[in-house]
A and B are shown apart, each in its own frame.
Chain A
Amino acid sequence: MKKKLWDPVFGGVVIGISIILTFYVAGRGLGASGALTAFAATIQNILSPSVTQSSQYFSKYFANGANPLDDYLVYLIIGVMIGSFIAGMISKDMKLEVLKGPNISNKGRLWYALAGGILVGYAARMARGCTSGQALVGGAELSVGAWAFMFSIFAGGFAVAYFIRRQWI
């Protein structure tokens, strides 16, 4: 049987402590989207260097022989994968599966996941970060932009929730 989840307040405190630790040790916040974008840029640079070199945005990633995967956030995300894997093993929540509501097929759910991923991938770059690096870290820094970003996330989610309810409830 799966182990019981943490109380959300306890979970929030532990995540808050991990933010404090990155600042105490490295003088910066944590984040998730930066590593994924570095990974995307690296794959594209291998498959099609010319597209990457002509991209005003991605050419900077590789300027002067730089390797975007040699980055603080990439090491952090490797840790996230190890930590979540350990937690999944310990709590016996380790199974190939598609999670969804009862009123949609697996295939339908995966199309939504793909579309949602594309939108989030685009939006995280537009907002210079995601729920981790921008909303949580920026929120803790009292950044006005981060708080505006966070409220906008919930506004966008609530606005569209009704129309896609088939997927979840």
Chain B
Amino acid sequence: MIGPLVKNGIISDGVNTLFAVLIGMLFGYALQRSGFTNSKKIAGAFYMKDVDVPVVMFTAITTASIGLWGLSLLGLIDLGKFYFLPSYLLPMVVGGLIFGVGMAMGGFCPGTSIAAMVTGKIDAMVFVGGFLLGSLLFGDLYPLWDKFYNSGANGVWRIDQLFNINVGFAILLVALLAVFGSLGMRKLQYKFWGKND
């Protein structure tokens, strides 16, 4: 069965929706079991007090990157039928900076706040309320940032294209960054906060 299953007509839209719920369950289960329903743990990343968040992120990206590329090499998925995210460099940098400030203050990102909300974390419920307000603010006052939001449309723009290297080599670089980034940050955590915190 060659993926994407729904675009290749192997499964119906209804079955795809069922799978969306099931995959979401796996994702939510993993978020909770990784400790990401705890705002203190998430914010700890910004003090190098608990670097599990960046380690999980690095590992997830590397796993998905190698997996998707590997499956396409094996002919099990058709990359041509994927939806790839376009790059808008400047809005993404500015959005990222504001996002980071909000994440350090709020102790959550959207996915983790949803996962935490259902396990009774009151700060997560308030964060979700804030998120709804913030996205309404963006959408209702959209003409104010319409131009900036659509500036620098770079289309689908990948690291291998940026550095003019082979895709496999780019994934190797990502994997190396993940391994050494994770080890380096863990080392800093132990240095600043000790091993038993």
Contact = CB atoms under 8 A, between A and B. Distances in A.
Given A8-B56, A83-B25, A121 B64 contact: no
**Most-contacted residue by chain B among A122, A144, A151 (CB, 10 A):** A122
A113 B31 CA distance: 19
Contacts of B130: 113-121
Given A26-B5, A152-B94, 8 more contacts: A8-B34, A19-B64, A24-B3, A33-B131, A99-B39, A117-B134, A120-B103, A136-B57
Contact of B99 (A98, A110, A120): A120
Nearest to A61: B139
Contact of B85 (A24, A121, A134): A134
Interface in B105-164: 105-124, 126-140, 142-143, 145-146, 149, 154, 156-162
Interface of A: 5-6, 8-9, 11-30, 32-33, 36-37, 39-41, 43-44, 51, 55-58, 72, 75-88, 91, 93-101, 106, 109-110, 112-161, 164-165, 167-169
Interface residues of B, number: 129
B176 interface: no
Interface in B22-76: 22-35, 37-40, 43-47, 49, 52, 54-65, 67-68, 71, 76
Contacts, number: 546
Contact of A131 (B110, B118, B127): B110
Given A83-B28, A95-B120, A119 B106 contact: yes
Interface of B: 3-7, 11, 16-17, 19-35, 37-40, 43-47, 49, 52, 54-65, 67-68, 71, 76-77, 81-89, 91-124, 126-140, 142-143, 145-146, 149, 154, 156-162, 167, 170-171, 174, 182
28 contacts: A5-B33, A6-B33, A15-B27, A23-B4, A56-B143, A80-B27, A80-B28, A82-B25, A84-B37, A85-B28, A99-B38, A116-B127, A118-B131, A118-B137, A121-B130, A122-B137, A123-B97, A126-B149, A127-B99, A128-B91, A131-B112, A134-B85, A143-B156, A146-B85, A152-B94, A156-B96, A157-B45, A157-B100
Nearest to B63: A16
Given A85-B119, A91-B32, A28 B21 contact: no
Tell me if A's interface is mostly helix, strand, loop or mixed. helix
B16 to A, nearest CB: 6
Contacts of A110: 122-123, 126
Contacts of A137: 64, 85
A156 B98 CA distance: 6
**Most-contacted residue by chain A among B32, B109, B157 (CB, 10 A):** B32
**Most-contacted residue by chain A among B47, B115, B130, B146 (CB, 10 A):** B130
A137 B49 CA distance: 26
B181 to A, nearest CB: 11
A164 B127 CA distance: 16
Contacts of A100: 39-40, 123
**Most-contacted residue by chain B among A83, A134, A145 (CB, 10 A):** A145
